[in-house]
Amino acid sequence: MKTQRKQMLTSRTEPVDVELINIDKAYSHNGPLVLENFSIHIPAGDLVTVLGPSGCGKTTTLRLLAGFESPTGGDVRVGGESIVKTPASKRNMGMVFQSYSLFPNLSVTDNIEYGMEIRKVDPAARSKRSAELLEMVGLQGFGDRYPHQLSGGQQQRIALARALAIQPRVLLLDEPLSALDAAVRGNLRDEIRRVQQELGTTTLFITHDQSEALVIADHVAVMNQGKIEQYTNPYELYSHPATPFVARFIGTINEFAVPDGWNESMPIPLERHAAEGTDTIFVRPENLQIEAVEQSPAFVYNQRYMGERTSVIIEHPDAIGGTWTVSLSSQEASSFPVGTPVSLSLAGEVAMRESAREATRV
């Protein structure tokens, strides 16, 4: 059993909130806006993940906060004070990158103490804090090793310790786990969250991994084409997506065309309706149920076994996207072998509904 690590750092930085306000960002004069009228507020002490497809502007957001880029318009505030004109070196922010970026010629301890040495922290204080951080990230006794003697996960723990050594006001994590294999990613993700909560450091975590974003964060911002589609807690994001983009981007979703007057007490119509007056409902796989019937145009096309749960793939000629997915216990799924004709019905709430009028405006 893993022993409970004590909270032991000798001092903590008081958490501060972070605001990006009405940010526009273009990389060239009169060039396209990478971010447009972009605003986000990160409460003091929270860990916020920014999630989105490649090119949506999430790394640009981090670079603006770090001071590596300047906004074309708008303001960046930390603790209520504008830092737009503050150079990156004076912003007191810790950063962890996808690549570990450790100094190969320095020992683990020297890597951790590097930022403190630059800030002329007393050697005894440096030594004490580096030892505390090594214990905090579970690598006590590794101080004399060099980066090439560590695994990828261990190197990233040291990178985290180095970022925290300077007692940053804000911690910035740019895809810190994407270079690691799945097992190491999960363990290190949990360690990052534990350390962040223990220290209370306001943190911005950039990722393209949905499960990572939902598991680690207090709040998640889903970005698309330089704008935030939805910013809320992980449960609300998954259960009640605000836009079709979020519904389709987060997890698996089923789409059904329903007439304007349809409500959740009615059966789900499997056939598509005429475009005029047709809404689209979005339903998570666990909120559907199936029943074997003698004849139906809907049938079990495939099954994806995932241990305790199995995803049952339903094919129907009118299925939006080609198929629907139902999540069942693996024991229940065994009653529906491939080829079984089935009916579908709601077993829970509709995640969201897009009216035909809204879809037309989009």
The pLDDT score that the predictor gives to residue 359 is: 53
Within-domain flag for 70: yes
Q: Which of 14-23, 60-69, 81-90, 97-106 has the lowest mean pLDDT?
A: 97-106
Q: Which of 189-198, 241-250, 328-337 has the lowest mean pLDDT?
A: 189-198
Position 151 pLDDT exceeds 60:
yes
Give the integer Cα–Cα distance in Å for 228 and 260: 29
Tell me the mean pLDDT in the region 178-203.
88
pLDDT band at 4 (very low <50, low <70, confident <90, very high): very low
Interval 107-133: pLDDT, tens: 999 999 999 998 999 999 999 999 999
With CA atoms as reference, report the closest residue to 130 among 22, 231, 14, 8. Answer: 8
Position 163 pLDDT exceeds 80:
yes
pLDDT band at 256 (very low <50, low <70, confident <90, very high): very high
Position 223 pLDDT exceeds 60:
yes
Position 179 pLDDT exceeds 90:
no
Question: Residue 354: exposed, middle, or buried by beta-carbon count in 10 A (0-12, 13-18, 19+)?
Answer: middle
Q: Which domain holds residue 34?
A: 18-92+167-244
**Residue 297's domain is classified under what CATH number?**
2.40.50.100
Q: Give the chain's domain count.
A: 2
**Residue 68's domain is classified under what CATH number?**
3.40.50.300
Across the chain, where does the E strand assignment appear?
18-26, 33-42, 47-51, 73-78, 81-82, 93-96, 170-174, 202-207, 219-224, 227-232, 254-259, 278-283, 288-292, 299-306, 309-315, 323-329, 342-346, 352-354
Phi and psi for 351 in degrees, rounded to 5? -70, -45
The pLDDT score that the predictor gives to residue 358 is: 61
Position 2 pLDDT exceeds 60:
no
Question: Which of 214, 244, 274 finishes a domain?
Answer: 244
The DSSP result for 158-192, as a single string, is HHHHHHHHT--SEEEEESTTTTS-HHHHHHHHHHH
Within-domain flag for 122: no
- The answer to whether residues 233 and 220 touch, using CB atoms and an 8 Å cutoff, is yes
The pLDDT score that the predictor gives to residue 86 is: 96
Position 249 pLDDT exceeds 70:
yes
Question: Which of 244, 263, 285 finishes a domain?
Answer: 244
Same domain, 190 and 86: yes
Same domain, 258 and 196: no
- The answer to whether residues 142 and 132 touch, using CB atoms and an 8 Å cutoff, is no
Tell me the mean pLDDT in the region 311-338.
94
Phi and psi for 75 in degrees, rounded to 5? -135, 150
pLDDT band at 288 (very low <50, low <70, confident <90, very high): very high
Question: Which of 244, 266, 301 finishes a domain?
Answer: 244
Tell me the mean pLDDT in the region 233-238.
96
Interval 84-105: pLDDT, tens: 999 999 999 999 988 878 999 9
Tell me the mean pLDDT in the region 65-82.
96
Position 3 pLDDT exceeds 70:
no
Q: Which of 42-56, 125-139, 272-286 has the lowest mean pLDDT?
A: 272-286
